[in-house]
Amino acid sequence: MTKADSSAASAAPDWAKVDLTQIPDIVTPPPGPASQACHARCTKHFKGLSGQVKLFPVAFESGRGCVLTDVDGNRYLDFSSGIYVATLGHCHPKVSEAIAKYANTLMNCHDFSTPIKTALVEKLAAILPGDLNGFQLYDSGATAVEAGLRVMRAATTHHEMISCFYDYHGKTYGAVSLGHVRSFVYGPARAPGCHMVPRPDVYRPLWTTDDGTIDTDKYIEFYDEYLDKATVHDVAGFVLEPIQGWGGTIMPPDDFFPKLRAFCDDKGILLMADEVLTSWGRTGKWLCMEHWDVVPDIVIIGKGFGNGFPVTCVAVREPYKESFESISASSSYGGNPMACAAALASTEVIEQEGLLARSAHLGEIALKRMEKMKSEHPIVGDVRAKGCLMGIELVKDRATKEPFDEAGKMVYQKAFQKGLAWIPAGHILRMSPPIVMDDDALMKGLDIIDEAIGETARELC
């Protein structure tokens, strides 16, 4: 359990309340003329866009709380938090003030100690579970993942790593080598010693018990066999997302991580949780792993950690702290004063505004609303939510569970046109509203999705 948890589900903070008589407000069908002109000029030079932008090329001007404004003056309800990043809404006054203070005080002094960094690491040691009390700071999820992998190797003096099908850990070479490589690599595939195994997906289980429930033991038995037969017995550990984000909000069964933790302990290998996406309130806890009372040996924290300021963290348990020395862990931007101020302010806001509980509450009411959608739309195969990490899986047929990609694309575009800014992923609709959102705004966003699913089903089915 967390050492300092927020208890009662607080009301949404006033500053982030969405006036639903005004929002969403589509004054020009998007992408409007100003968006199109800006996008055309920008993309003459700026290449390599995400699928999200390709499917809906608007240009954004500003954001405040849970509302985004495009350059045509259209205002959208934000169900994306950027890309799971602005967890506390856009431009949270306390976070922006903290960044501005250090932008005017001290921007960089390499990895020398500073009072603001000291305050941040002391805060992290106080709130993280177990003995996760050794830290290093970075400027992106991928660089932090790479450092975590280096710590893992240094701590164990072993070299092979195991991750899971459809995990995503970033786009540097080590991270790609432990992810869904086909989408992100041009050239040689994985780095040597990087292995991939299946992981339990409650909606699409590979192995089930006689009563049809997912059989977690079979996955663990498979890992045992795999370690023995498919590695050179030089395994440093497992690297996993607690819930797969890019893969489509794929939830593990509740008994999976406790069993994997016990398996790793039994084999003498480490467990690294890539919580870049799932940490800092996104799922209603500081770390998603706390839902299952599991303390990983290494944790990567990112995205919402600085609420938009690029700051990420590698946290390790007491016995592995000294391994940061062996890997020469420092970097140019890691732990700069603005970054530390952003992370500390974000952490304090989550505590002071009771936002862990708020995120958990939003997940609960969203799940009920999405269950209703499932009961009304046969193309909705599965719905899931943990805190403000949500997903709706669209299928052509509930019996075969065949993915319905065209529907996913169409629902995404239709909802965007109605004023919902969010994240597509093929047939799985992904939602990550800011955790400061009020209940009515959340319901409004889900109503828009419901409407878009209904229209799509009528057009495609």
Q: Which helix (H) or strand (E) holds 280?
A: none
Min dist CB 169 to ligand PLP, Å, is 5
Stretch binding ligand PLP (CB under 6 A), from 101-109, 274-282, 322-330, 360-368? 274-282
Min dist CB 159 to ligand PLP, Å, is 21
Tell me if 168 contacts ligand PLP by CB under 6 A. yes
Name the residue type at position 341: A
Q: Give the one residue of 274, 290, 353, 382 binding ligand PLP; rule: CB under 6 A.
A: 274
Which class for 175: exposed (0-12), middle (13-18), buried (19 or more C-beta within 10 A)? buried
Min dist CB 191 to ligand PLP, Å, is 16
Min dist CB 168 to ligand PLP, Å, is 5
Min dist CB 276 to ligand PLP, Å, is 4
Stretch binding ligand PLP (CB under 6 A), from 87-95, 111-119, 138-146, 325-333? 138-146
Token match 């996008």: residue? 39
DSSP 8-state code for residue 78: E
Query: What are the tokens at 457?
Result: 């089903």
Min dist CB 259 to ligand PLP, Å, is 21
Contact 275, 84 (CB under 8 A): no
Q: How far is CA 231 from CA 156, 265, 340, in A?
A: 16, 18, 40
* x/- track of binding to ligand PLP for residues 293-322 (CB under 6 A): ---------x--------------------
Stretch binding ligand PLP (CB under 6 A), from 41-49, 95-103, 135-143, 219-227? 135-143
Please give the torsion angle defined by the CA atoms of residues 339, 345, 348 and 350, in that order, rounded to the nearest 10 degrees: -90
Beta 312-317 vs 132-138: how paired, if at all?
A: antiparallel
Q: Give the one residue of 121, 145, 196, 360 binding ligand PLP; rule: CB under 6 A.
A: 145
Q: Give the one residue of 140, 163, 283, 456 binding ligand PLP; rule: CB under 6 A.
A: 140
Min dist CB 179 to ligand PLP, Å, is 8
Q: Residue 245 in 3-state DSSP?
A: coil
Min dist CB 283 to ligand PLP, Å, is 12
Min dist CB 36 to ligand PLP, Å, is 27
Contact 23, 421 (CB under 8 A): no
Query: What are the tokens at 17?
Result: 């309340």
Q: CA quadruple 282, 284, 289, 291: dihedral positive or negative?
A: negative
Stretch binding ligand PLP (CB under 6 A), from 2-10, 97-105, 139-147, 396-404? 139-147
**Residues that contact ligand PLP, how many (by CB under 6 A):** 14
Stretch binding ligand PLP (CB under 6 A), from 46-54, 141-149, 369-377, 448-456? 141-149
Min dist CB 157 to ligand PLP, Å, is 25
b (16+ CB within 10 A) / e for 225-261 = ebbeeebeeebbbbbbbbbbbbbbbbbbbeebbebbb
Q: Give the one residue of 141, 308, 391, 426 binding ligand PLP; rule: CB under 6 A.
A: 141
Residue nearest to ligand PLP (CB): 141
Give 368-418 as a DSSP string. HHHHHHHHH-TTEEEEEEETTEEEEEEBS-TTTT-B-HHHHHHHHHHHHHT
Question: According to CB under 6 A, which residues from 222 to 261 bind ligand PLP?
Answer: 241, 245-246
Beta 194-197 vs 235-240: how paired, if at all?
A: unpaired
Q: Residue 330 in 3-state DSSP?
A: coil
Tell me if 170 contacts ligand PLP by CB under 6 A. yes
Q: Where are the beta strands (DSSP E) in 182-269?
A: 194-197, 235-240
Stretch binding ligand PLP (CB under 6 A), from 31-39, 58-66, 249-257, 272-280? 272-280
Contact 314, 63 (CB under 8 A): no
Stretch binding ligand PLP (CB under 6 A), from 123-131, 162-170, 247-255, 362-370? 162-170
Can you give the binding site for ligand PLP, defined by CB under 6 A?
140-142, 145, 168-170, 241, 245-246, 274, 276-277, 302
